[in-house]
Structure 1
C-alpha cells in the first residue's frame, strides 16, 4: 500500500519549488481580451505553452486546441457559446498521463485567463511579490494557485515513485472569465474522465455544486416633462417619472427576494438565490423627468432549475412574468409594460452525494484538511459542462474566494501547499495505485 505520508513529506521539502511554479504563472499576464486591458497583458497562449512544456516533462502527452465559434455552432443555444468570441493565440491545453489501465481516470481542470488588472494595487500585479506567507498577483487566487497546486500534486506523486492505475487528465482552458467557451470547446472535443476536480479557490472547502447566474436589464419607460412645473395627468400628455416607476418595481422585488429566501435554497449553499440590482441608469437633464430608466441585475439559480439546454430559461420566464404581473398593478406600467433584456446566462452544476467520487474525494481531502467543509459555490465556475456530460465534479482549491478580482489579490503559501497535498491524496485514492 502506498505511503501517502511519503508524498506529503516530499511536498513539504519541495514547497519552494511549488511556489516557484505558481510565481512563474503569475508573471505571465493572461488577461482575457474581453476586459480590453493592454494587449501586452493578454498572453493566454504564452501561459498555455509554459504549462504544456511543464507537464510534458512529467510524462504527459499534450495537445493545444483552439475554440472556434463556427465549429461549435451546434451549441449556439447552450451554455458557454459566444458567437463573437475569437481565439487567436488563445488555445486550450489538454494532457493525459497514462496509468496502468486498472483504475479510474480523473480530470484536473482550471482556467488560465484572468480579469483586468484593475487599480489601487500596493504590490505589483505581475511580479509575484511575496510578503511573509502571502504571494501577491493578479490570478494568484483566481485561479493560478489552483492550477499550480494540481500540477505539482501530480509531480509529487511521480517523484515519489508512485504508479497510478488510472489516467490523469489535465485541461487548462481559456475564456472562463467571459462566459466559459473554453470549457465548452474542451467537452465538445470529446475529452472525458470518470471524475473531475475543478481547482477554483474555495479556502480548501469542498463544493459539489455551483449556482447559475443571470444578468438582465429591466427597461422602464417614462414620459419626459419639465421637472419644476406642475404635472398633468399622463393620459393628457403629462410627465411620467421613469425613476419613480423603477422604484415602484424595486419595492416589489424586495417581496420576491423574501419569497426566494424560502424557496430557492440548497443544503450546501450558505445563502439563498436572490435578484440583486447592481446598476441604475436614468434621465437626460436635471430639469426633466426621466423618460427612461434601466435597472441592471444579477439573479442566481439552482441546478435543479436548469432548462433543457442546461441554462436558466425557466428562471428567466419566472422573472419576466413577475415584472409583467407587477406592471398590472399600476395604470402607466400596465399600458407600458417594462421590457426585460437578457445579457448573460452562466450555467451551473451539481454532483450528488450519492456519487462514489463524492465520498472518495471528501475522505481524501480530510486526511489532509480535517476541517474542510462541504459547501456549495455561490458564484459561477466552469462546472456545468463537466456535469452535463456525466462527469461527477467537485470544486476545490487554495485561496479565499473573496480575493478574486480585487486589487492586491494574494494567496497564502501555507494554504497553497495544503492544497497540493489534498489533491495528491485525491488522485491516489481515486485513480488507485500499483505497487
Structure 2
C-alpha cells in the first residue's frame, strides 16, 4: 500500500473537505458526560446511554443495522472466573451498541471498537471538562483521549468511505462498549453476543502507534492491621498490650515493594514494551485520629502483567499468587505481622492480549500510516485495553487511536485536531484495503 489507490484518494479528499464534521462529532460525544458509575453516584454525569443513542443515530443514518442492549450479569454468569465478569455490575441505562454495515460480498470483515465510558473529571480543570472547547489546534474535555477521540475517528472513517460513494465488500461492525473503565464487562458481553471480524481496530489512544499487544492490569488492596493507642503516651511491648502503629508496619511493605520492582525491572519485560511491569502504589489510607496510632493502613496498588503470564482463561492468577507470596514473606520478617498477617483483596483483573508484530493486519495499519507520510511505530500498549477478549475469540486486534495515552485521565485532557484527522484517514485507508470496496 505504498501508493494510495484512487478510491483511497477519494476518501481522503472527503475527510479534508469535512474536517469540521469529524471534529464536531467528537465535540458532540464529549458534551455528553458518560462517566462510569463505578466512580460516582451522581446520575447526572453517568449518561452512557445518551452517548450510545448519539452513536446509534449516526450509524442509522449510514444505513447500519443497530443492535442496542443492556448486558445482564445473570446471563453472563457462566463467565465467572474469566476476565471482565463482575456479578455486581449493573447496566440499567448503560447499553452496548453494535452497528453493522453489510458488505457487498467477497471481502474481509472489519471491527471498529471502542468504549464510550469515561472516568470522573476530578479537580483542577481550567476548562469545562464536558465543554469540548477548541483552542490552539486542540480539543479539550474528559474523554478526548480516552477514548472518544478514537471512537469519533473510527466512525468518521467509515462515514468517509460510504459518503465517497464506496461500499465495503466485507461487513464493517462498529462496536461502542460500556464499562471498560471498571473492568471491561461490556466487551465480554459484546463477544458473547457473537461479534467479531477478520481484523479489529481497538481505538484506544496510542499516539498513532500501532500496538499489537497490551498488558494485563491487577488492582489490589493490602490491609495492614495495627493496634490503636494514645500517640502521645509511652507504649509498652505489643505482647503486653502496647499499641502497634499500622503506618509503621505499612512502611515496611512500601520499602519492600521498591525491592520487588527492581527484580521485576530485569525479568518482566517485552521487546515491544517501553517499560517493564511494576507494582505501583496508587492510594494510601490510614489512621482515625491525630492523637492515636493507626489501627489499620490500606495500600491500593496497580500491578501489570504480560500476555505470557496469563493463565488459560486469560487472567493474571499466577502474578496474583506471586504478589501474595511476596507480601507473606515480608510479613514473616516482623513478629507482629507474623501473628497478624495482612490481607490482600483483589479488585480488578483487566486482561491482556497479543498478536504477532508481523501479522498482516499490523502490517496493513503501518502501511496506512506510511501512505500518509507518517513513519509508523509498532509498540505495545503499557496500559490495559479491551483487546484481549477479541483476540481470544479469533479476531486479530491492534490498538490504534489519536491522543497521547499519558494524557488520559489528566486534568485538561486534550487531543490534537490534526492527530484526530490523521487517525481517521489511516483507518479509512486501511478499511478500503482490508475489506475491499465496490462503487455504491
From 296, 301, 304, give the equivalent of 2:300: 296
Q: Give the C-alpha shift of residue 221 in structure 1.
A: 2.2
Supply the distance in 2 between the matched residues of 1:102 and 1:127 (Cα, whole angstroms). 43
Gaps of 5+ in 2: none
Distance 1:10 1:340, change over 3 A: same
Of 109-118 and 226-235, more deviation after overlay is shown by 226-235
Cross-structure match for 1:190: 194
Post-superposition offset of 1:427: 0.9
Deviation for aligned residue 1:37: 5.6
Going from structure 1 to structure 2, the CA distance change for 1:314 and 1:6 (only over 3 Å counts) comes to: same
1-side partners of 2:233 and 2:142: how far apart? 52
TM-score when scaled to structure 2?
0.94
SS of the residue 1:399 aligns to = coil
User: What is the match of residue 211 of structure 1?
Assistant: 215
Change (3 A) 1:3 1:190: closer
Q: C-alpha root-mean-square deviation of aligned residues, in Å?
A: 1.8
Tell me the residue number matched to 1:237: 241
Q: Residues 128 and 287 of structure 1: is their aligned pair in 2 closer, same or farther, counting only changes over 3 Å?
A: closer
Pairing 1:346–2:350 present: yes
**Alpha-carbon spacing, 1:283–1:119, altered in 2? closer, same or farther (3 Å):** closer
Post-superposition offset of 1:113: 1.4
**Any idea what SS the aligned residue of 1:411 has?**
strand
1:55-134 counterparts in 2 under 5 A? 55-134=59-138
Displacement, 1:310? Answer: 1.4
Q: Does 1:15 align with 2:19?
A: yes
* 2:49 aligned counterpart, secondary structure: helix
Inter-partner Cα distance in structure 2 for 1:252 and 1:164 = 56
Q: 1:366 to 1:37 in 2, by over 3 A?
A: farther
The CA distance in 2 between the partners of 1:137 and 1:103, in whole Å, is 37
Structure 1 residue 47: Cα displacement: 1.8
Instruction: Give 1:163 shift.
Output: 3.3
Q: CA 1:288–1:70 in structure 2 vs 1: closer, same or farther (change >3 Å)?
A: same
Q: Deviation at 1:226?
A: 3.8
The 8 Å contact of residues 368 and 426 in structure 2, kept in 1 or not, is answered as yes
Q: 1:84 to 1:425 in 2, by over 3 A?
A: same
Q: Distance in 1 between matches of 2:426 and 2:28?
A: 22
Match of 1:376 in 2: 380
Please show how residues 16-415 of structure 1 align to structure 2 within 5 Å: 16-36=20-40, 38-368=42-372, 370-415=374-419
- So what's the TM-score if we normalise by structure 1? 0.95
Distance 2:417 2:123 in 1: 24
Structure-2 change in CA distance of 1:219 and 1:118 (3 Å): closer
Deviation at 1:229, TM superposition (A): 4.1
SS at match of 2:86: coil
SS in 2 for 1:100: coil
Give the C-alpha shift of residue 277 in structure 1. 1.1
- Alignment partners' CA distance in 1, 2:167 and 2:292: 74
Question: Given the alignment, which residue of 2, 5, 8 partners 1:4?
Answer: 8
Q: Is the 8 A contact 1:37 1:116 kept in 2?
A: no
User: What is the aligned counterpart of 2:436 among 426, 432, 435?
Assistant: 432
How many angstroms does 1:32 deviate by? Answer: 1.8
Give the 3 Å change call, closer, same or farther, for CA 40–236 of structure 1 in structure 2: closer
Are the counterparts in 2 of residues 15 and 417 from structure 1 also a CA contact under 8 Å? yes
Equivalents in 2 of 1:227, 1:144: separation in Å? 50
Distance in 2, matches of 1:210 and 1:297, equals 19
Distance 1:89 1:245 in 2: 44
Contact 2:273 2:379 in 1 (8 A): yes
Q: For 1:231 and 1:26, locate their aligned partners in 2 and report how far apart those are by CA, in whole Å.
A: 56
Secondary structure of the corresponding residue to residue 122 of structure 1: coil
Contact 2:357/2:378 (<8 A) preserved: no
Q: Verify the 8 A CA contact 1:204 1:369 in the aligned structure 2.
A: no
Q: Deviations over 1:262-284 (max 9, x none)?
A: 11111111111111112222233
Which shifted more, 286-295 or 421-430? 286-295
Shift of 1:322: 0.8
Structure 1: stretches of 5+ with no match in the other structure: none
For the residue of structure 1 that corresponds to 2:300, the secondary structure is strand
Is the CA contact (8 Å cut-off) linking 2:205 and 2:403 kept in structure 1?
Answer: yes
Paired residues, number:
435
- The answer to whether the 8 A contact 2:245-2:294 is kept is yes
Quick one: distance in 2 between partners of 1:362 and 1:231?
65
